[in-house]
Amino acid sequence: MAARLIRPGGLAERSQMDSPAHRRVQATTDQEPLSATGRAELRWGLERVLLMHEDHDAHDLARTLQRALRHLPVVMLHDRLLPDGLLVEHLAVGPGGVTVVASWRADDVPSPLSVERVRGIFSARGELLRDGAHADRTALVGPVRARVGAIRDLIEEMAPVEGALWLDGELVPRLHPLEVEGVVVAGPKAIAALAARDGDLQDYELTALVEFLDGALPPAL
């Protein structure tokens, strides 16, 4: 799905106001074009993209994603609070939009995972995430879906929003990417590819979107 451009008079114009940060970016871009991550570094300093997790596995995911995306036009924010108090572990903003990423230590989830498509009454359709013992694990994607919905409400039609869940554990080796209820369940490599997906967001629009999210979602200190 192609990214929807930011509306005229919205974030794109506000991002270009004559702020000190904008003047620093402009002075540099007058000499040499900057990538979105370069603009982000000038505006906020990439050290401000904090890794707050005390959980070792989530911390590893953040670093793994940062390494996988460091040469791509994707900016990541970690450990941010939504207006209702929910914690968003990882947000990746790239040309294809925003990706909400969460992790779950899944030592008790036997492999292989699979998606079962079911039909209920009145021809209603649904999807279930099943583990190797055929137990229903669909609830694992519920928190990701909730955060995807909250980010969509926050940014309205500025850009598409996708969700991804990393299941880490000894019993889910080499997890084959799956999609259930609109959430991609995969390892870090596939999630990084999702975050770096192609789209129509221009560099200044991407930068404005990151700036908006950075201001709207405070770090969970």
37 pLDDT band, cuts 50/70/90, is: low
Distance in angstroms (rounded) separating the CA atoms of residues 150 and 144: 10
DSSP secondary structure string for all residues of 180-209: ETTEEEE-HHHHHHHHT---S--HHHHHHH
- Is a pLDDT exceeding 60 seen at residue 76? yes
Distance in angstroms (rounded) separating the CA atoms of residues 198 and 134: 35
Residue 169: other Cβ atoms inside 10 A: 16
Q: 75 pairs with which residues across the strands?
A: 93
More confident residue, 113 or 124: 113
Flag the least confident range among 55-59, 73-77, 135-139: 55-59
The stretch 23-29 carries a mean pLDDT of: 41
Flag the least confident range among 18-22, 64-68, 70-74: 18-22
Does residue 112 have a cis bond before it (omega within 30 degrees)?
A: yes
The pLDDT of residue 11 is 41
Which pTM was predicted?
A: 0.73
The pLDDT of residue 104 is 86
**pLDDT tens per residue across span 159-205:** 999 999 988 766 555 678 999 999 999 888 899 999 999 999 998 89
Distance in angstroms (rounded) separating the CA atoms of residues 90 and 88: 6
User: Phi and psi (nearest 5°) for 105?
Assistant: -75, 120
Q: Average pLDDT over the chain, rounded to whole?
A: 76
- Is a pLDDT exceeding 60 seen at residue 43? no
User: Phi and psi (nearest 5°) for 129?
Assistant: -95, 115
